[in-house]
Amino acid sequence: MGDVAGAKQLRRLLEAVTSLGSELSLPVVLRNITEAAIDLVDARYGAVGVLDRSRTGLVEFITVGIDDEGIAAIGRLPEGHGILGKLIVDQRPLRLPDLTQHPDSYGFPPHHPNMSSFLGVPIWVGDEVFGNLYLTEKGDGEVFTDVDEELVLGLAAAAGVAIENARLHEQVQAVAVLQDRERIARDLHDTVIQRLFATGLLLQGAHRLTARPEVADRIQQAVDDLDITVRHIRSVIFELQPVSASGDSVRRELLAVAIEEARALGFDPVVRFDGPVDTAVDPELSGHLLNTVREALSNIVRHADAQRAEVDVTVSEGSLCLTVTDDGRGIDLAAAAVAGGHGLVNMRNRAESLGGSFRSDLGSGGKGTIITWQVPLR
């Protein structure tokens, strides 16, 4: 490359490396890497794909150059097939004049912008690949050059250091947060709940002494409110406790399912937890629970015409109980008796295979549906 152009690109690389080293948020680091790479080699589109734990697919895909509407129109993000999969397996830089002509190309989904020239490089963090950096559509219709490849490899090396730095920062923050969470949970259990119990006992004593019905009713309402408050605080305490050793959280996964289904529902379902859901539910049972919740919410989308849905997950006395309630038009019991009708048979079979039980009932006044799915804990 010419001296002026070469000096300009090297200056861009130095600026990009410097900016990466100053950021401690991993999501921001990944986006900065992509933006810096686009600017460095004059690409139109760029992305970083983060490998999953098995290192065979992508668990995250950060893209730059396509706006939010374009991303929504494309739909599901890449998971690591085709050309992207080749880079995952080979772990070497890949440069193509026209990616659509490569035998591993899957083509583009509907609404995806056209792309031809391609440059992909791995991002190493320590001795393993963290993910891959992808660039497409070199400016002026040109193809990516050897110099472009070397520059992006240099950026990827700096990116690996920045990613490791951000991850270490997150770990330090997590330790501090965990210590705070444990202290708050301990204070809630040892102080707040005990005081609420004592207050409830005093109110129950006063309830027996009063002769005025209206006063007795108000006292009983206060006792009931205290009982609900104690249950909510207990749920918060369980949320504050550490999750499983693998780092997985059943609560977070269930909330993710609720968010996923909210678009189709047209509203956010209410999700409540009671008991040590994260520590008591093993990974296999968690999978059955998530699939059942997904099936139940999907049924509401397809059949209920509801305005509200509630998901309650309770761990108590050696069992896991899931209750899904909606305010829709109610279940057609005759149709439910037909195999596969409303997906209820699938949920019942899943529960019975785990030694549990399943019920589907009409809500109060014949409005809405109540699904109860209960299985023993292992």
Q: For the segment 181-215, what is each residue's pLDDT rounded down to a tens digit?
A: 666 666 666 666 667 767 777 777 776 777 778 77
CB atoms within 10 A of CB 48: 26
In tens, the pLDDT along 144-167 reads 999 899 889 888 888 888 888 777
pTM greater than 0.75 (yes/no)? no
Separation CA 325–CA 22 (nearest Å): 49
pLDDT tops 90 at residue 244: no
How do the domains of the chain map onto residue ranges?
Answer: 3-171, 179-240, 250-376
Reply yes or no on whether the pLDDT at 274 is more than 90.
no
- The rounded distance, in Å, linking the Cα atoms of 62 and 70 is 14
Identify the band that residue 246 occupies on the pLDDT scale cut at 50, 70 and 90.
very low
The mean per-residue pLDDT over the stretch 138-148 comes to 89
H-assigned helices in 188-246 = 193-209, 213-240
The band of 245, judged by pLDDT with boundaries at 50, 70 and 90, is very low
Task: Please check whether the domain covering 250-376 is classified as CATH 3.30.565.10.
Answer: yes
DSSP structural state of residue 192: I
Homologous superfamily in CATH for domain 3-171? GAF domain (3.30.450.40)
Block residue for tokens 């065979």: 56
pLDDT at 376 over 90: yes
- Other residues' Cβ atoms within 10 Å of the Cβ of residue 129: 16
pLDDT, residue 93, reads 93
Task: State how far the Cα of 160 lies from the Cα of 131, in Å rounded to an integer.
Answer: 9
Q: End-to-end CA distance of the chain, in Å?
A: 66
Q: What per-residue confidence (pLDDT) applies to 302? A: 81
